Amino acid sequence: MNQYKDQGKQDTRSGFGAGLTELGRKNPKVVALCADLVGSLKMDDFIAENPERFFQVGIAEANMMGIAAGMTIGGYIPFTGTFANFSTGRVYDQIRQSIAYSDKNVKICASHAGITLGEDGATHQILEDIGLMKMLPGMTVINPCDFNQTKAATLAIADYHGPVYLRFGRPKVANFTPVDQKFEIGKAIMLQEGTDVTILATGHLVWESLLAAETLEQKGISAEVINIHTIKPLDEAAILKSVKKTGCVVTAEEHNYLGGLGESVARVLAVNHPAPQGFVATQDTFGESGTPEELMEKYGLNNKAVTAAVLKVLKKKA
């Protein structure tokens, strides 16, 4: 039975904004940079309280990454803010050379990730960013599921030394995790125990997976749901423990199935414990303009898709 309840829909980008504002009050070393998207990144309160610690670089994302890398040399903890597409694809060379290779303590904070960016369309709906970031040596990749967890993750990465990619979104979604839940980088969270199938979900697909588990329960299927908020480092121990119990797994993510959470899980299973796996993700395609709900339905990224994937993978169990 799903013990989590929607406390009221909120956007995860506002969770980032709330976390950044709190950091501004607590940690004088935290600075923020933005590429002309202050309102979209919910940075207004931080700027109002800490104008001397905010740097507007304009539509010059590559410069922003270089500036942020340089600031770390002075002991500052820079949080860069722009859309996920511009936080990764547009500036990949700068992130690789100046941040990841140089092991700089930069927090790359990426809003409007995935297909739920909605009406802006395919050019802005990046579905490759997790893959781009997780392949960089030393890069930590975090994809929280709701407002509360995004705020908690924002606070946690300030205390972690090293480059971090923090991914969040535009639409208002269910806010269901405890407000005081501690965020541990690299530690998956068991949301619901089950015996028949493991559902490993990340980001916006976590709530959808809980809804799917309710539907499956009505069909007599016991689903174990785990929130994989950290894609890298992946909590391999939690994944293997669960899959060894249930015998099969479905991964669910708002990302291309190539390079995302599903592939990371498949590697872990291939090396340690091969098991049937289903993938809920976009199928090597770009998006299009539409409302988030319409796009999640069309591209198979909702609770109905998770339910269908579970029913399919159960047939492959030995």
pLDDT in tens, 219-244: 999 999 999 999 999 999 999 999 99
Domain endpoint, select from 173, 205, 221: 173
User: What's the average model confidence in pLDDT over 250-270?
Assistant: 98
Contact 16, 154 (CB under 8 A): yes
> What is residue 3's predicted lDDT score, i.e. its pLDDT?
85
Domain endpoint, select from 144, 173, 202: 173
Looking at the fold, whether 143 and 97 belong to one and the same domain comes out as yes
> What is residue 317's predicted lDDT score, i.e. its pLDDT?
87
Looking at the fold, whether 98 and 199 belong to one and the same domain comes out as no
Looking at the fold, whether 57 and 152 belong to one and the same domain comes out as yes
Beta bridge partners of 109: 81, 166
**pLDDT tens column, 128-186:** 999 999 999 999 999 999 999 999 999 999 999 999 999 999 999 999 999 999 999 99
CATH code for the domain in which residue 251 is found: 3.40.50.920
42 pLDDT above the threshold of 90: yes
User: What's the average model confidence in pLDDT over 253-279?
Assistant: 98
Residue in 52, 61, 217, 294 annotated catalytic:
61
Rounded Cα distance, 199 and 228, in Å: 10
Looking at the fold, whether 17 and 160 belong to one and the same domain comes out as yes
In a domain, 272, yes or no: yes
**pLDDT tens column, 75-129:** 999 999 999 999 999 999 999 999 999 999 999 999 999 999 999 999 999 999 9
> What is residue 90's predicted lDDT score, i.e. its pLDDT?
96
Looking at the fold, whether 42 and 161 belong to one and the same domain comes out as yes
Average pLDDT of the chain to the nearest whole number: 97
CATH code for the domain in which residue 135 is found: 3.40.50.970
User: What's the average model confidence in pLDDT over 290-295?
Assistant: 96
Rounded Cα distance, 318 and 315, in Å: 8
Looking at the fold, whether 193 and 129 belong to one and the same domain comes out as no
Looking at the fold, whether 29 and 158 belong to one and the same domain comes out as yes
> What is residue 69's predicted lDDT score, i.e. its pLDDT?
98
Looking at the fold, whether 65 and 120 belong to one and the same domain comes out as yes
> What is residue 64's predicted lDDT score, i.e. its pLDDT?
98
In a domain, 182, yes or no: no
Number of structural domains in the chain: 2
Note down the domain range covering 270. Answer: 189-314
Indicate the DSSP class of residue 244.
H
> What is residue 1's predicted lDDT score, i.e. its pLDDT?
63
Residue 224 annotated in active site: no
Burial class (CB in 10 A: 0-12, 13-18, 19+), 143: buried
Share of the chain above pLDDT 90, in %: 97
User: What's the average model confidence in pLDDT over 22-39?
Assistant: 97
Looking at the fold, whether 213 and 264 belong to one and the same domain comes out as yes
In a domain, 87, yes or no: yes
pTM (two decimals): 0.97
> Which residue in 75, 58, 42, 238 sits closest to 154, CA to CA?
42
| pLDDT level of residue 251 (50, 70, 90 thresholds) | very high
In a domain, 1, yes or no: no
Looking at the fold, whether 159 and 41 belong to one and the same domain comes out as yes
Please report, as a single letter, which amino acid is at residue 7.
Q
The H or E element spanning position 109 is: strand 107-111
- φ and ψ of 270, to 5 deg: -60, -40
Looking at the fold, whether 204 and 264 belong to one and the same domain comes out as yes
In a domain, 5, yes or no: no
Looking at the fold, whether 30 and 140 belong to one and the same domain comes out as yes
Indicate the DSSP class of residue 53.
G
Cβ neighbour number for residue 45 with a 10 Å cutoff: 14
In a domain, 178, yes or no: no
